[in-house]
């Protein structure tokens, strides 16, 4: 059971009206919204593929924008933590190294996901018509679904613990929620793309 008093005490350290905190929340929420809207628009219209001359070039450009937005998000996240108080009881070696270990596991999931999927597989290539031959089942996909998202969430969780930051923990929860919502939209849509691919193959 959740200790409500402990949670209230923890988040009593967080000033949710702080400008830096609000900017971080908006940045976290904006990123998955942006890439889902753009990718679905591209899947429906193929405008980006026509503008950039090919689906691959368009996907690379969108991927570059997503990477830039992720850098901005991480910067806003870090600045929001710096502007808020630390939790004194957590400002110790044990918490720091626990956070470091969690971040390392998250980084492993993110990097291994990227290596398994490739650039276009990672950055929504299937919405551009760049489909993979088969579903990836190797590590880390053999361990959990959506390892890129959960790995990224783990990195933020570890980063928050390393900084003994209640604000960071709250922002990590926002990251997890935004990714969960994104997965609810992306999963069925991506499955439908590959279902249509299989239907097209059978009709040939």
User: What pLDDT does 39 receive?
Assistant: 95
Q: pTM for the whole thing?
A: 0.90
Q: Convert the pLDDT of each residue in 182-193 to its tens digit.
A: 999 888 888 888
pLDDT > 70: percent of the chain: 94
Q: How far from each other are the two terminal CA atoms of the chain, in whole angstroms?
A: 56
| DSSP state letters, 44-92 | HH-HHHHHHSSHHHHHHHHHHHHHHHHHHHHHHHHHHHHTS---GGG-S
**Residue 1's pLDDT is what?**
47
Rounded to whole angstroms, the Cα distance separating 78 from 196 reads 42
**Most confident among 9-18, 96-105, 134-143 (mean pLDDT):** 96-105
Average pLDDT over residues 3-20: 79
Q: Give the pLDDT confidence score for residue 13 in this predicted structure.
A: 84
Q: Is the per-residue pLDDT at 2 higher than 60?
A: no
Rg (CA), the chain: 19
Mean pLDDT along residues 109-133? 94
Please report, for the chain, the start and end positions of each structural domain, with discontinuous segments joined by +. Answer: 4-203
């Amino acid at each position: 059971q959740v200790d409500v008093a402990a949670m209230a005490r923890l988040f009593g350290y967080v000033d949710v009206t702080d400008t830096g905190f609000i900017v971080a929340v908006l940045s976290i929420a904006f990123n998955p919204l942006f890439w889902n809207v753009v990718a679905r628009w591209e899947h429906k219209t193929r405008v980006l593929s026509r503008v950039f001359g090919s689906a691959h070039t368009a996907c690379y450009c969108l991927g570059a924008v997503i990477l830039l937005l992720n850098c901005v998000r991480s910067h806003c996240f870090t600045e929001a933590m710096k502007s808020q108080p630390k939790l004194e009881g957590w400002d110790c070696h044990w918490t720091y190294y626990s956070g470091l270990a969690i971040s390392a596991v998250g980084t492993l999931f993110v990097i291994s996901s990227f290596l398994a999927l490739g650039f276009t597989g990672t950055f929504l290539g299937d919405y551009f018509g760049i489909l993979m031959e088969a579903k990836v089942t190797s590590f880390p996909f053999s361990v959990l679904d959506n390892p890129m998202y959960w790995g990224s969430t783990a990195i933020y969780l570890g980063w928050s613990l390393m900084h003994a930051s209640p604000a960071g923990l709250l922002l990590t929860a926002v990251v997890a929620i935004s990714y969960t919502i994104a997965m609810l939209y992306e999963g069925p849509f991506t499955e439908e793309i590959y279902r249509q691919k299989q239907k097209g193959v059978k009709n040939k």
